Structure 1
Amino acid sequence: MNSVREWYSAQDLAGLPGMPGTDRGVRVAAEREGWKARKRQAGKGMEYAVSALPADTRRALQSQQLDLALTSVSTATVTPPTPAVLSGAVVVHAAPDLSDLTDRQRLERDARAGVLTAIHKLQAGSGCSQEAALTTLLINARAGQLDAHVDRLLRLARDPRGRAGDGYPSVRTLKRWLSATDLAPKGPRTSMKVPTWAKAFLAHYQKPEKPTVQQAYDAFLATLPRGQHPSIHQVRRFLDKLGAVTKERGRMGDRELKNIRPFVRRDFSLLVPNDVWSADGHTFDAEVQHPMHGRPFRPEITTFVDIATRRAVGWSVDLAESSMAVADALRSGVERYGIPALIYVDNGSGYKNAFMNDAATGLVGRIGATLTHSLPYNSQARGVIERLHQTLWVSGAKQLPGFIGAAMDREARLEQFKLSRRALKQGGVMPLMPWHLFVQWCETRIDEYNARVHRSLKGLSPALAWANFEAKDWVPHTMAPAELDTLFRPRVTRTLARAEIRLFNNIYFARELEEFHGTEVHVAFDIHNADQVWVYLPDGRLICRAQVSGNTKHYFPTPVIEQARQKRAKGRLARVDVKREEILAELHGAEALPALEAAPVVIGGRVIQREAALAKRTADVADAEPIALSQPAAKPAPALSRSERSAADNYAEWLALDERINRDEPVSEADARWHASYPTSAQFKAHSKKLAARSNAA
């Protein structure tokens, strides 16, 4: 920092205003006028005190000091000054909460700190007052004599929201900055006050029908007295202040809101294979040929995935989701990869049933695993298996000729649907994959998925990730084939009666069960073969095998799978009967449920009285008066709305309505609103000008 000089030599003073042009002339003038002098501290000669010099010379020396101080400011780092440097200058504090500042506010705050640093350096370097430093700084800036860096700081520090001026702050503004503790400019603050009408409006806006703002506003106005309502613009500004979740609450259900709310990512880095398996069923997005009758249908695929390695460990294909399909997929996984510790599934009927969960006979309990269900409608918690469906089955379905998924164009999807139905009706080649080829295709897709690099595994494939765990001496807990056959036969609890067991409409019999009459036992069965069952004591000891008896309900035993098919067929036939009854009721006018007596029905904008419509439908056709074809009955023309009528008709109606209002006659609220708003419309103004021009011409 430059200190204020008090002594100058003849060489320094020569040529300045009020001084001779040479060194000798300065020395002669000093001796003649008796200036205060002293010997130079370095070198020869004398130097003279500033206080003894003429006024013009002192002003010139002060201007030199000012230019030198500003030059040093331009090369210095612009930081808020400290007391040690400024010798008692005011300390500038930053904004207490920087998170509330915009980029523009931060830029202006830093520029103002730099301007204050330049002012304090100017004061210290020239020895002038604060007022003089402020004035000098602005004068030099406006004259274009200020350093470019400081000039830029001055322009950035000024709040652009004020008057334009010359682009520089005023002396008064600089003084305000010097005394301020927060240099950040004040930004606009949005008022978060909730209007008194907000709750009433949101009751019309936050509905699952998702009305537009205008529709909700119109319904809201109908509930308020005339003249006591906000404008549509106030309503829109209020909605803009609401958060995304708050605004959509009521318009979206809890399940849909989860798509825009925060979520928790689960870490699986500490898991090892078979710690957690997740499973889910997926209705395939392409049609294939039914294994029984060859007609088009969409099969159900159940897949188990290991969370630690993302490996698809088990799968099965069935006609529909069921506990048998889940058991088959679980069996394939346990056979190949071992027993999982925990199975994480949804609340579907295929997983939440006694066959899977029963403490004594449930499949999961017998293999030693724990079945855990996610919260209802919370598929996000099982994102791994949901993502697998997209990668494995949805993308694969797009490669097949029978794809009819949601991603397909609607017209193309309909054409694909008609193509297969046309082949059924008219004969020809079915453009769908046969069942046995589809099962082979699923096996190939599983192998390709397990061999492909997975992003969450950091460049590894599921198969390679599994192999890495095995290389670290991890060994899965597997089962012998004979043990698998025993465990994966579904079990149910039955009570023996005279050595007979009744199961799925079949009767099984064994002489070894004679002494166990009235005893509750566990019965294991094969879902594909109904010829025999296995009978166990509750502690797990095998009693015997019971063969199907001759006095069964069916002449031949019916396997469980076949019974399930029959049950599904009966359900489909029942739905056909319901549809048939509905068509007949519509044809003859019969009612399914009694309706309110005075409740009219609105169809296509027409109001239909229910009783009158039914009476007309059931009336005898012979009683109706015939109408000649050459003279069709005239139908009254529907009334036109105000937007469809001409300007002359609307103007005439407004005049009539205005006359009624002037006579204090009652009018409807809709007519009153139209009477108030129509004079501001372009149609009213144009028609008024047209009438005025006619009257002037007349």
Structure 2
Amino acid sequence: MSTGPYFSASELASLRISGIPASKGKIIARAEREGWVFVEETGRGGTRRKYMLPPNLQGALATRVARDALPVATESAKPLRSPLPLNDRQKVAQAARKGVLVALDRLMQVSGISREAAMITLLTQAKLGQLDAQLEPMLRSARDERGRKGDGFPSVRTLKRWLAQEKSGDLAPKIVQADYDVPAWAKVFLAFYQLPQKPSVELAYREFEKAYRMRAHAWPFPTIHQVRRFLGKLGKVSREVGRMGPRELKNIRPFIRRTFDQLQPNDVWSADGHTFDAEVQHPMHGRPFRPEITTIIDIATRMAVGFSVGLAESSLAVLEAISHAAMNRGAPAIFYVDNGSGYDNQLLKREGTGLKGLLGFEVTHSLPYNSQAKGVIERSHQTIWIQGAKLLPSFIGASMDREAKLAQFKVTRKAIKHGGALPLMSWDSFVQFCTERVDEYNNKPHRSLPQIADPVTGKRRHMSPLEAYESHRATGWEPLQLTDTEAQNVFRPRVERTVSRGEIALFNNRYFSGLLEEFHGEQVHVAFDIHDAQRVWVHHMDGRFICTAEFGANERHYMPMSFVEQAREKRADARLKRLDVHREEIEAERRGAPALSVETPDVLTIPGFGQIARAALDARVVDVQAVDVTPEPQPAIAAPTATVIEMPQTEDQRYARWQSIDQLIFNGGTPDAEALKFHELYAGSKEFAARKRRDEEAGELQLAGHR
């Protein structure tokens, strides 16, 4: 063998490298075909070429050389066992075969017969049922199930094979190993199977067969049974790629389980909104609706530290939930939420004025569509609100019986239409119900918390969130509570505004204070109460308090509207607009109006000729004689005399009239003003264009030559 990087064709053939032909001639042909690098050496036999393997074969060469470097096993050494571990069936059969061979040795020693005679004797006794109760099932278990059925016992030849296998150290029966080579047609078929529509194997195979059965390809066309066997060898995730989106695949892929052992209370809060799965009475009009509940969970203790109940998920609902939590349990260090509008807004995150800066916590957002990362808050919805909604007769969740849901719906809507008491929980009762649900959750053992001995029963159980919270306080931890003054300053949202002549404009209201006179044109921080629009609190940009500005007279509204009231008005306007769209759609369906209509003004004004009513374009009207123009003086402001153009009644009449006027113009005649205007207007109509196109296609347009 050459010591350099170049090898002759005979040397390469002797190495038996994977991926390289085993004959000298085929190696030379491949080297010339693929353009291998070579050098020519002159020896006793003449000149010969030595080749350098291309990069894609260097790895196979290294593997071959490393294998030659391993020590050679002696003849007496036992062969290596299969790297695959034995299954239970193989283990049982291996132990049974060892027991059978031991029984043969004992029979030979007791009876003084040869090994083959002992084998025949043992099998004969087994067939006659003369073996003991232990040896017979051992003999049946030792048999390889892949062989002939027969009487369930091995043959003499099989016993001899077991004896030879014992000497080699491998008595376990072989098992059929699945062929995991990917067939050449697999990628083509998967293009029909791995679709988001999730077609069945039969449907995907039919489409695959239609597309490729009669086409030329380098692989034999598979049967549907081969396709099924191939799919059975694929892993669950690999098989569902394409049939399931990335977000759905996350439900079957490995995940990271987060621990919270090192966290203390208020280190991380997680919040999310949930639409309640039962109807209650609206606090404004009393009609059925589903409220939006925002809950905040402390990750370390799993405690529901705060919640808010609102009409919809918004920044105000989040603000109220944080206010409720911070007043009772202190301020968090990290606020872990999704990317919803309620958590990504200026009231929460604006630098200097947002609640984030005022309380001093960080806002961290989860990845989009990554609810697994917020499993704590998602699971609390199940325990607190979904189970709570099932306690009410107005529950309308997916698990509700459809017939019962429909019956409840009919009762409530009938009460709305004809009057009467609604069988729904009132708003005040619902708020109290929510408070009780949160208290029950905080006092109930939570399986993710450590176990303790129950002080009453003495049995081991998990801590409740409240007990976990108090256990941290027992070790010396205390929440940072806000004073009443701090709470008032913090939970009044702040925005930046510019002072203009002592006034501040905020939410369509204007607030005035004489103390703002020297701040004209400057930026200030304006704090407001979301429930009271009578006054605002003005602060310098560095946080110093300036004054209180009162609601003034230069307002757009006669009465001040709070931020909450304005939000309610906007929501009501949006709902009315949606109703108007549905009403117009229903009216259009009733009238049978065309899907697309050309809107024209009610009156068409033609300079120099007067006005034409739109109805005159669709129906026959009386032609009003035009007033002759005389040189007599006219008043300074005179109403023009309208000339109504007579429109023929049918399409054929209109088209015939246009043709006659057009022929008159072509012959050098001069039509009157009304006819000339009709000729001009009708030539621009869609009806004329369609008629002209039909005549051209039929070869009947008589005036096409001079147009």
TM-score (norm: length of structure 1): 0.67
Equivalent position of 1:168 in the other structure: 154
Cα distance in 2 between the residues matched to 1:464 and 1:278: 19
Cα distance in 2 between the residues matched to 1:414 and 1:539: 59
Q: CA deviation at 1:364?
A: 1.8
Equivalent position of 2:124 in the other structure: 142
For residues 5-404 of structure 1, the aligned pairs below 5 Å read: 95-97=81-83, 99=85, 101-116=86-101, 132-133=114-115, 135-143=117-125, 149=134, 152-165=137-150, 167-169=153-155, 170=157, 171-226=159-214, 229-404=221-396
Cα distance in 2 between the residues matched to 1:257 and 1:567: 40
The one-letter amino acid of 2:463's match is L
Q: CA deviation at 1:94?
A: 8.8
Equivalent position of 1:693 in the other structure: none
Equivalent position of 2:498 in the other structure: 495
The one-letter amino acid of 1:111's match is A
**Per-residue deviation, residues 24-65 of structure 1 (Å, max 9, x unmatched):** xxxxxxxxxxxxxxxxxxxxxxxxxxxxxxxxxxxxxxxxxx
Is the alpha carbon distance of 1:585 and 1:261 closer, same or farther for their aligned partners in structure 2, counting shifts above 3 Å? Answer: farther
Cα distance in 2 between the residues matched to 1:347 and 1:441: 29
**8 Å Cα contact 1:296-1:432 kept in structure 2:** yes
Say yes or no: does 1:450 pair with 2:442.
yes
Cα distance in 1 between the residues matched to 2:213 and 2:148: 44
**8 Å Cα contact 2:348-2:355 kept in structure 1:** yes
Cα distance in 2 between the residues matched to 1:242 and 1:486: 61
**8 Å Cα contact 2:301-2:469 kept in structure 1:** yes
Cα distance in 2 between the residues matched to 1:221 and 1:309: 59
**8 Å Cα contact 1:404-1:416 kept in structure 2:** no
Q: CA deviation at 1:445?
A: 1.3
**SS of residue paired to 1:456:** coil
Cα distance in 1 between the residues matched to 2:280 and 2:442: 24
Q: Which residue, 487, 496, 515 being the options, matches 1:512?
A: 515
Q: CA deviation at 1:117?
A: 5.2
The one-letter amino acid of 1:109's match is Q
Q: CA deviation at 1:141?
A: 4.7
Say yes or no: does 1:414 pair with 2:406.
yes
Is the alpha carbon distance of 1:520 and 1:366 closer, same or farther for their aligned partners in structure 2, counting shifts above 3 Å? Answer: same
**SS of residue paired to 1:222:** helix
**SS of residue paired to 2:379:** helix
Cα distance in 1 between the residues matched to 2:164 and 2:410: 80
**8 Å Cα contact 1:94-1:184 kept in structure 2:** no
Equivalent position of 1:463 in the other structure: 466
The one-letter amino acid of 1:188's match is V
Is the alpha carbon distance of 1:121 and 1:139 closer, same or farther for their aligned partners in structure 2, counting shifts above 3 Å? Answer: closer
**8 Å Cα contact 1:367-1:487 kept in structure 2:** yes
Equivalent position of 1:657 in the other structure: none
Cα distance in 2 between the residues matched to 1:585 and 1:200: 50
Say yes or no: does 1:589 pair with 2:571.
no
Q: CA deviation at 1:363?
A: 0.6
The one-letter amino acid of 1:108's match is A
**Per-residue deviation, residues 438-488 of structure 1 (Å, max 9, x unmatched):** 111111111111112222223222112212222222211111111011001
Equivalent position of 1:481 in the other structure: 484
Equivalent position of 2:425 in the other structure: 433
Q: CA deviation at 1:91?
A: 8.7
Equivalent position of 2:475 in the other structure: 472
**SS of residue paired to 2:489:** helix
**SS of residue paired to 1:558:** coil
Say yes or no: does 1:574 pair with 2:577.
yes
Q: CA deviation at 1:382?
A: 1.0
Is the alpha carbon distance of 1:141 and 1:149 closer, same or farther for their aligned partners in structure 2, counting shifts above 3 Å? Answer: farther
Stretch of structure 1 that moved more, 152-161 or 496-505: 152-161
Cα distance in 1 between the residues matched to 2:168 and 2:271: 64
Q: CA deviation at 1:557?
A: 1.4
**8 Å Cα contact 1:92-1:113 kept in structure 2:** no
Aligned-residue Cα RMSD (Å) equals: 3.0
Q: CA deviation at 1:494?
A: 1.8
**8 Å Cα contact 1:402-1:416 kept in structure 2:** yes
Q: Which runs of 5+ in 1 are unaligned?
A: 1-88, 594-621, 624-698
**SS of residue paired to 1:531:** strand
**SS of residue paired to 1:308:** coil
Equivalent position of 2:535 in the other structure: 532
**8 Å Cα contact 1:90-1:179 kept in structure 2:** no
The one-letter amino acid of 1:220's match is F
**8 Å Cα contact 2:104-2:122 kept in structure 1:** no
Equivalent position of 1:424 in the other structure: 416
**Per-residue deviation, residues 265-323 of structure 1 (Å, max 9, x unmatched):** 22122222111111110000111111111111100001111112211110110000001
Equivalent position of 2:454 in the other structure: none
Is the alpha carbon distance of 1:291 and 1:140 closer, same or farther for their aligned partners in structure 2, counting shifts above 3 Å? Answer: closer
**8 Å Cα contact 2:107-2:118 kept in structure 1:** no
**SS of residue paired to 1:236:** helix
The alignment of Structure 1 onto Structure 2 pairs a total of residues equal to 504
Cα distance in 2 between the residues matched to 1:146 and 1:398: 66
Cα distance in 2 between the residues matched to 1:584 and 1:592: 14
Is the alpha carbon distance of 1:94 and 1:112 closer, same or farther for their aligned partners in structure 2, counting shifts above 3 Å? Answer: farther
Is the alpha carbon distance of 1:252 and 1:312 closer, same or farther for their aligned partners in structure 2, counting shifts above 3 Å? Answer: same
**SS of residue paired to 2:380:** helix
Q: CA deviation at 1:490?
A: 0.7
**8 Å Cα contact 1:304-1:333 kept in structure 2:** yes
**8 Å Cα contact 1:499-1:514 kept in structure 2:** yes
Cα distance in 2 between the residues matched to 1:236 and 1:291: 59
Q: CA deviation at 1:388?
A: 0.9
**Per-residue deviation, residues 632-661 of structure 1 (Å, max 9, x unmatched):** xxxxxxxxxxxxxxxxxxxxxxxxxxxxxx
**SS of residue paired to 2:171:** coil
Q: CA deviation at 1:350?
A: 0.5
Cα distance in 2 between the residues matched to 1:592 and 1:280: 46
The one-letter amino acid of 1:416's match is Q
**8 Å Cα contact 1:309-1:462 kept in structure 2:** yes
**8 Å Cα contact 1:306-1:313 kept in structure 2:** yes
**SS of residue paired to 2:422:** coil
**8 Å Cα contact 2:292-2:309 kept in structure 1:** yes
Is the alpha carbon distance of 1:582 and 1:191 closer, same or farther for their aligned partners in structure 2, counting shifts above 3 Å? Answer: farther
Q: CA deviation at 1:103?
A: 1.3
Cα distance in 2 between the residues matched to 1:188 and 1:502: 82
